[in-house]
Chain A
Amino acid sequence: MRARLVVIAVLLTATSALAHHSNSAFDPEKVVVLKGTVTEWKWTNPHVWIFLSVDDGKGGKEAWEIEGRPPGVLARSGWSKNTFKPGDTITVDFSPARDGSRTGLTTRVTLADGTVLSQVSPGAL
């Protein structure tokens, strides 16, 4: 029974993080930088999602769900559906959620080989 409740709680958390929302959910004054392992990469409308497993500094792992810009914007900036695969080590810069939940809005990603993926559309220059 307890395990079932935990599963439900996790599902509710995931649903709330994935829901579409305005940018006011994030704090633009802050940038958090996290290095972790990709567990899932969702190339979805209207925003992409990076699921990241990050060392919590205590020998455990924390699961983060970090949102990105729309696929169209990212495709024009060099990203693709195949940019990440589970197991990749990446560093993500993002504006964190105001409510302290383990989510945020990506500002850039650095791959293991040092390649930097920005998310600036050609016209936004």
Chain B
Amino acid sequence: MAKPIALLAVALVCVMAGSTASVRAQETPARPDFSGVYFPFNANAAPAAPRGAGTPPRPVAVIDGRAGRPETAPKLAPEYLAKWEVMRQSRMAGSSETDPNANCISAGMPGMMSMTYGMEIQHTKDKITIYGELNDVYRRIYLDGRKPTQRTLDDPTFAGYSVGHWEGDTLVVDTVALREDSLLDLFSPHSDQLSVHERIRFTSPGVLEDQVTSRDPKALLEPFTQIRTYKKASPPNDELREFSCAEGLSLVK
């Protein structure tokens, strides 16, 4: 008799353990895997006209400030607005000296998340690495609970130092240690106090959204938020290519 009771007890424990695991699974939403190649995508844009011989060429986008400062641009403190005006005059005169892309320099965070020519995300349990084709840039987001050390804070970089944690199916990322000489949106200057807060999630299958909020108590009058969306690529367009920008710079003597 002792043996059947023991077996029953084991069975009960197994059932209880199973139901506990099941409850846990219900309480903890599945964390998405962001791995893949993505291209920027405007979910609200009108459908593209079919391309063919009769299609007018797409105009070249030029942002040099000749139309003034857009309403949607970050709201700069006077000292930084004056810096922007200097850059604007330089760009309108045809100079590329303040354009990081023209100089093969990383746009840095948060501007690099425009990912104009696509990005590849490698997602593991403890770290996400994002590689961008434009200027061969990359950034890492640590998910293992580490925090930036003083040495990191004293050594700012274009991509900065990013740590992330999950809130349900949304990855929340905070980035610090950003170089003061990068540009917020490829055109707006910022201070050494810039920090970036992101909320990254799938809004529908294959559509990734990054809500990017920049804060800078010295340069920005208010937080600056951008919503970026990207669409996951399928074969054969799910491969990025090397950019090797310096090949162009080497032609400048």
Residue numbers of A with Cβ under 8 A of B are 15, 18-26, 28-29, 31, 44-47, 70-73, 75-76, 93, 95, 98-99, 105, 107-108, 110, 114, 116, 118, 120-125
Contact = CB atoms under 8 A, between A and B. Distances in A.
Interface in B233-248: 233, 237, 240-245, 247-248
7 contacts: A22-B101, A29-B59, A46-B243, A72-B118, A107-B59, A122-B39, A123-B41
Contacts of A71: 241
A107 B41 contact: no
Nearest to A74: B241
A110 B53 contact: yes
Given A123-B233, A125-B41, A24 B64 contact: yes
Given A28-B59, A45-B248, A116-B51, A20 B91 contact: no
Contacts of B231: 123
B243 A22 contact: no
- Interface centre among A22, A70, A120, A125, by most chain B C-beta atoms within 10 angstroms, is A22
B94 A25 contact: yes
Contacts of A120: 48, 51, 58
Contacts of A105: 60
Nearest to B93: A24
Contact of A116 (B52, B237, B243): B52
B6 interface: no
Given A118-B51, A123-B39, A125-B41, A45 B94 contact: no
B99 A121 contact: no
Contacts of A98: 94
A124 B39 contact: yes
A29 B244 CA distance: 30
Nearest to B92: A24
Contacts of B38: 123
A76 B237 contact: yes
Contacts of B41: 123, 125
Given A72-B243, A121-B118, A123-B233, A44 B248 contact: yes
- Interface centre among A25, A105, A120, A123, by most chain B C-beta atoms within 10 angstroms, is A123
